[in-house]
Amino acid sequence: MAETSPGIPDTHVLRRANEAGAVLLTADKDFGELVFRQRLAHSGVVLVRLAGCAPEMKALIVTAAISAHVSELEFGFAGVTGNAVRIRRSSR
């Protein structure tokens, strides 16, 4: 979305992903606010917290996390760090 629709509000990004039935992959912590505090509808969110990692390493870590937890990601909120994947279920 950053390349195709720069500046689009986070609520619109979340809505577009939800309408597409897609899990949203992001580094923006604001999506936790939208999902848990505002209880906005979503199909799932993966929050990537890998500051300082090389892009190639980020890709490997995120790919491995998604592969290992694919069945848990729908309608969940996952935080991915260098040494852990934490998944919380949220109300739809």
What whole-number distance in Å separates Cα of residue 64 and Cα of residue 53?
15
91 pLDDT exceeds 60? no
- Predicted model pTM: 0.90
Q: Per residue in 2-51, pLDDT tens?
A: 788 888 999 999 999 999 999 999 999 999 999 999 999 999 999 999 99
What whole-number distance in Å separates Cα of residue 20 and Cα of residue 36?
20
What whole-number distance in Å separates Cα of residue 60 and Cα of residue 23?
18
Closest CA to 17 of 41, 36, 39, 38: 41
Give the pLDDT score at 3: 80
